[in-house]
Structure 1
Amino acid sequence: PANLGGGCSMPPLKAFMDDTTIICSKEEETRRMLARLDTLMTWCRMKFKPKKSRSLSIRKCKIEEAVTFTVAEQQIPTVSQEPVKSLGRWYDSSMKDTRRGVETVQFASEGLLAINKCGIQGKFKVWCLQFMLIPKLLWPLLVYDICCSTVESIEAKINKYTRKWLGVPPGLSDVAMYCRKAKLKLPMKSILEEYKCGKVRLVTMLEESDDPVVKTVQPSIKTGRKWKVAEAIDE
């Protein structure tokens, strides 16, 4: 047990601490904060895992590669050295989402090709597309700043395989495939429409937040030139 002084002691307990983010304006402040946290963790018999942590130092709008931090007598890897994934989003030294759009398109192509190679019937392939592949694609599309034209290219690939699996003529338009008022009603959802609805839902949630800090910040959602969230909300 830990001795608290005055005849009081704390029984040894095992605990778990969730992720901690430290944001400081100066390098020395960050080092003092890490040293203080390291002392507290040693006192309560807990420990940090520097290999699972990442550090990022920005000075004059540029990433400082030479600045490194240590905790538990071990160096914390920088984001440039080892990119980190948090809540389904990758963070690297580029600080941009351009590469993520290309990776999402590649992932969609590989997923469609894998489903197409399956030996199941066409309608079951469409089921795998709607309930397995599209949900996996929607998360990066909503998390990253990916333009609308990239999503349109993904939907074009999806529609090509969908027509093949359902046996419908190639000339069937996309409107006829996803329309809910036509005679041909297919229980399918468009990834482009889900992408637009998700972006609108995100902006509305931020604007109607009860937190005054979040509410006053103007959300910057980048969707390219073809379609803008603000114009869609105004309409």
Structure 2
Amino acid sequence: MLIPKLLWPLLVYKICSTTVEVKEANINKFTRRWLGVPPGLTDVAMYCCKANLRLPLKSILEEYKCDKARLLSLLEDSEDPVVKTVQPTIKTGRKWKVVEAVDEAKECLKIKEVIGQSQTDRKGLGSSTAKWWSKAEGKEKRDMAINEIRLNEDSRRVRKAVQ
């Protein structure tokens, strides 16, 4: 309930990612106190999807990054010729650039398409329902890129946990 009300101003206004990190740290402090978890519990345990202990919480910073990437993709793929010709400038501060993150996600998806899908279960060859980047259109491409940004954030948390 709180996150959608908080994400709209973060999407509309030019707020840098460092400010969002500080706000998330303050919210984390109160959330930890409310949950009664020890102060040594890292953000990995709270927000990581690949961890054994998963809490049903969303990271505000991750949602902020996904919303900014969605906004950039919407502006780039717009039907309006005026919006399409004007290059969108979405300012997110110095630590994280939305244009670089979206380009990196698109390149990663293209590389995954070239590599192909490996066998991960017992269903057999050809049982994959994965949609490839070159065959996806519009909203599907946008969703795939945003999902890739989420995976990058999750892998960043896993790297932090391993350190």
Query: Normalised by the size of structure 2, how large is the TM-score?
Result: 0.62
Aligned to 2:55: 186
Residue number among 1, 6, 25 corresponding to 1:156 in the alignment: 25
Give the alignment of 1:1-235 within 5 angstroms: 131=1, 133-235=2-104
Question: Which protein has the bigger strand share?
Answer: 1
Q: 1:181 Cα shift?
A: 1.3
Tell whether the 8 Å contact from 2:44 to 2:51 is kept in structure 1 after alignment. no
Q: What residue identity is the alignment partner of 1:221?
A: I
Regions of 4+ moved over 2 Å: none
Once residues 202 and 221 of structure 1 are traced to their aligned partners in structure 2, the CA distance between those partners, rounded to angstroms, is 9
TM-score by length of 1: 0.43
CA shift at 1:200, angstroms?
0.2
CA contact (8 A) 2:18 2:95 kept: yes
Aligned-residue sequence identity (percent) comes to 77
Deviation at 1:134, TM superposition (A): 2.2
With CA pairs under 8 Å and 6+ residues apart, which has the higher RCO, 1 or 2?
A: 2
Give the C-alpha shift of residue 137 in structure 1.
1.4
1:62-96: per-residue Cα shift (whole Å, max 9, x none)?
A: xxxxxxxxxxxxxxxxxxxxxxxxxxxxxxxxxxx
Mapped partners of 1:206, 1:141: distance in 2:
17
Mind listing any 5+ residue stretches in structure 1 that lack a counterpart?
1-130
1:147 counterpart letter in structure 2? C
Aligned-CA RMSD value: 0.9
Matched to 1:214, the amino acid is V
Deviation (angstroms), 1:222: 0.6
* Structure ranking higher in helix proportion: 2
